[in-house]
Amino acid sequence: MSLLRQAIRNGSFLLDLKADSLESIIHQAVNLVVMRGVLAPEHRDEIEHGLMERERVACTAIGRSTSVPHVYSEHVTEQVILFVRLARPINLGAPDGTPTRFIWLLLGPADFSSEHLDALADIARHMSDDEFCYELRVASTLESLNQAFDNFDRRNAPPTTESKEPSVEFVHSGRFGGGLMADLHRRLQFYASDFRDGLNLKTISSVLFLYFACLAPAITFGAIYADETAGHIGVMELLVGTAVCGIVYAISSGQPLIILGGTGPLLIFTIILFDLCKDDAYNLPFLETRAWVGIWTGLIVILFALTDASCLIRFFTRFTDEIFSALISLIFIFKAMEHIGHGLSDVDSTHTLAMGLVDLILAIGTFGIAMSLSRLRSSRYLRHWMREFIADFGPSIAVIAMSIAAVLWFSMVDVDSMQVEGSVQPTLVDAAGVPRPWLLNIFSVDSWVIWATIGPAILLAMLVYADQNITARLVNSPDHRLQKGAAYHWDLAVVGGLLILCSVLGWPWLVAATVRSLNHVRSLATVEKTENAAGDQRERIIHVRETRITGIFIHLLIGGSLLFVNQMGFIPLAVLYGLFLFMGIVSLSGNQFFERITLWITDPALFPGSHYVRNVPRFSVHLFTIFQASCLLALWFIKESPRLGILFPLFIVGLIPIRFGLNRIFDAGHLAALDAEEEPSEDELQWT
């Protein structure tokens, strides 16, 4: 049995100790040891003095919010391990810069050196597990402490040869539908906890943030759809589709942290398809033709799920993930900047310079407030719970604050607000003003069209496959410390079914939205600030609340917004574009590709102490980044090209052979460091 577990079972722990110095901590901890009868009262002062002397010789704060004060004396007859959790962390000078919250006090006879080393090894093994540290942080009873140890043992149990269940890695099951069924088996055991784990204040802040974060692109993309498809698809279709599909996905998916939404690549594909349908050479009904493309796509995607095709996503490495994530983030950033720039440049009789300047103020104000409040988490001001609360609700506060500012300070300027029809009906209407039915008559097209749409459907299926699975890989990244497992095959099947639903109802196609999904994970994360050996500070996720409640309520709110569409005009479009900009910038954090781009203009003497900087020659680092930047520029060019745009999915898949081609250019060890799945643990902690 673990030495730490045995100490906890014996009641040797003290939770939420209130102290503001190491001396106070040691005094109260030693008092507990005396009260338990292990140490005679007359030796209390000597033990306290010995512990403080040990601290003066060398700091016992070892990182990961952990300190191990210890002393060995002839006055102690047996080994003592006492766990103390502080009510508020204190900076005790840990090498990773993290304030200390957990104290493991070690006492024992002078000749207990081997037992001391065993205890230190046990502490290092347990406290290096982020999930274990999080469970220690929230535990309130002996049972919950014991449960933390049980969960640690379960996570670190050696794999058994008898186990036939595929791991969360991409292992082909060898059976038709085998991977899909394995996903269901793995995730169903956590279904109840997916709701229990959402009973937290973070859920409320996440719902409010993601409500605006999902509403903004739904309205923006909806307006672009309406403009580019001559009103065949508009804001109402995207709002209704987002609400319905989002609720269905949150309830039935395997990974509920993924947020479905309209994406730039799918928008581009739809516009290209509309242009083809309206071409004089074809002159096809757009919605019905698009419906058949979507139906075939959904069936192909479901076939992908049944044949374990998601296993192939293992060939998408950090190289491809970073490029795709950067592309989606840049789409958000450029859309925001495009709106702001358009407001300043498009000055005429109806749009004045004052309107453009107000749009700029509202957008930058929203971005600035959201960014500043989110960074308050790492500030030294206010209490910890206050900083967490304000940081969690920061984006929502920014949207509300700047919307109110628009009314109070800029009411004399006619700023652009969200324009949504007052009734829940399709955007397309006939000459008499009658809207089309929600359910399309898909059999009104010629039979040859039904079969001809298989070709575009194959391309679209490749795009959906890449978009869904790459986003799922990013969400399930080891950096996010998720514990309940992935469900690539099942999630792909759910998306395939929703594609068919969206197609026959004339809704935009929805798939995993990278930026919104990553912001969803971030909004539910508990993070801590760390410092590596080079002094570079970064935030590290130690736990994410994996819940379905946020996804359900986010999309319930979006659905509820349909009842108050007239009141939605209260929010200026510039505020939503400011949120766009915030989401795009925040989603870039943690993208190593952009970190390496900054090295081009960084003094080499001041390079960060990242693992790839230490282990890879500078020329190879820059060359690897140039390859990624070239691929990103090529994808952007193809996305914007009216002729090549429909082949966009092929070029995303084409990143795989490009990545394999790098094996002939780079040293294998250097490439492994640059393309590592996650940063080595040596960058996160140095045990001393």
Does pLDDT of 17 surpass 50?
yes
Backbone torsions φ then ψ of 409, nearest 5 degrees: -105, -25
Q: Give the pLDDT of residue 166.
A: 40
Pairing of strands 13-17, 80-90: parallel
The length of the chain in residues reads: 688
d(CA 293, CA 355) in angstroms, rounded, equals: 42
Pairing of strands 70-72, 66-67: unpaired
pLDDT mean over 620-631: 93
Between 679 and 446, the more confident residue is 446
pLDDT mean over 53-81: 86
Percentage of residues of the chain with pLDDT beyond 70? 91
Q: Could you tell me how far CA 157 lies from the centroid of its own chain?
A: 27
- What sign does the CA torsion over 371, 375, 379, 385 have? positive
Does pLDDT of 11 surpass 60?
yes
d(CA 370, CA 368) in angstroms, rounded, equals: 6
Pairing of strands 66-67, 61-63: antiparallel
Considering the segment(s) 3-155 as one domain, its CATH architecture is: 3-Layer(aba) Sandwich (3.40)
Q: Could you tell me how far CA 218 lies from the centroid of its own chain?
A: 19
Q: Give the pLDDT of residue 165.
A: 44
Q: How many CB atoms lie within 10 A of CB 681?
A: 10
d(CA 171, CA 179) in angstroms, rounded, equals: 8
Cα–Cα separations (whole angstroms), residue 246 to 156, 201, 208, 253: 34, 22, 15, 10
Query: Exposed, middle or buried by CB within 10 Å (0-12, 13-18, 19+), for 644?
Result: middle
Q: Give the pLDDT of residue 674.
A: 87
Does pLDDT of 381 surpass 60?
yes
Q: Give the pLDDT of residue 346.
A: 64
Distance in Å from the first CA to the final CA of the chain? 25
d(CA 550, CA 528) in angstroms, rounded, equals: 22
Percentage of residues of the chain with pLDDT beyond 90? 29
Q: Give the pLDDT of residue 243.
A: 95
- How is residue 18 annotated by DSSP? -
Does pLDDT of 164 surpass 50?
no
Q: Give the pLDDT of residue 681.
A: 47
Residue 170: partners with Cβ closer than 8 Å, 6 or more residues away:
310, 311, 312, 313, 314, 488
3-class secondary structure, 142: helix
d(CA 427, CA 231) in angstroms, rounded, equals: 6
Where does the pLDDT of residue 134 fall: very low under 50, low under 70, confident under 90, or very high at 90 and above?
confident
Where does the pLDDT of residue 567 fall: very low under 50, low under 70, confident under 90, or very high at 90 and above?
low
3-class secondary structure, 679: coil
Q: Give the pLDDT of residue 420.
A: 61
Q: Where exactly are the structural domains of the chain?
A: 3-155, 190-349+420-529+537-573
Between 439 and 643, the more confident residue is 439
Between 432 and 102, the more confident residue is 102
Q: What mean pLDDT is reported for the chain? A: 84
pLDDT mean over 452-474: 91
3-class secondary structure, 421: coil
Query: Exposed, middle or buried by CB within 10 Å (0-12, 13-18, 19+), for 278?
Result: middle
Does pLDDT of 269 surpass 50?
yes
Q: How many CB atoms lie within 10 A of CB 345?
A: 10
Q: Give the pLDDT of residue 207.
A: 92
Does pLDDT of 454 surpass 70?
yes
Residue-wise DSSP of 297-343: HHHHHHHHHHTTGGGGGGG--HHHHHHHHHHHHHHHHHHHHHHHHHH
- Of 154-168, 243-257, 602-616, give the lowest mean pLDDT range: 154-168
Q: Give the pLDDT of residue 588.
A: 81
- Of 647-651, 665-669, 678-682, give the lowest mean pLDDT range: 678-682
Q: What is the pLDDT of residues 186-241, one digit of tens each?
A: 899 999 999 998 888 889 989 988 888 888 778 778 877 887 888 899 888 999 99
Q: What is the pLDDT of residues 312-354, one digit of tens each?
A: 888 888 888 888 888 888 887 887 888 777 766 665 555 577 7
Does pLDDT of 532 surpass 70?
no
Q: Give the pLDDT of residue 418.
A: 60
Q: Give the pLDDT of residue 68.
A: 92
Q: Indicate whether this model's pTM tops 0.85.
A: no
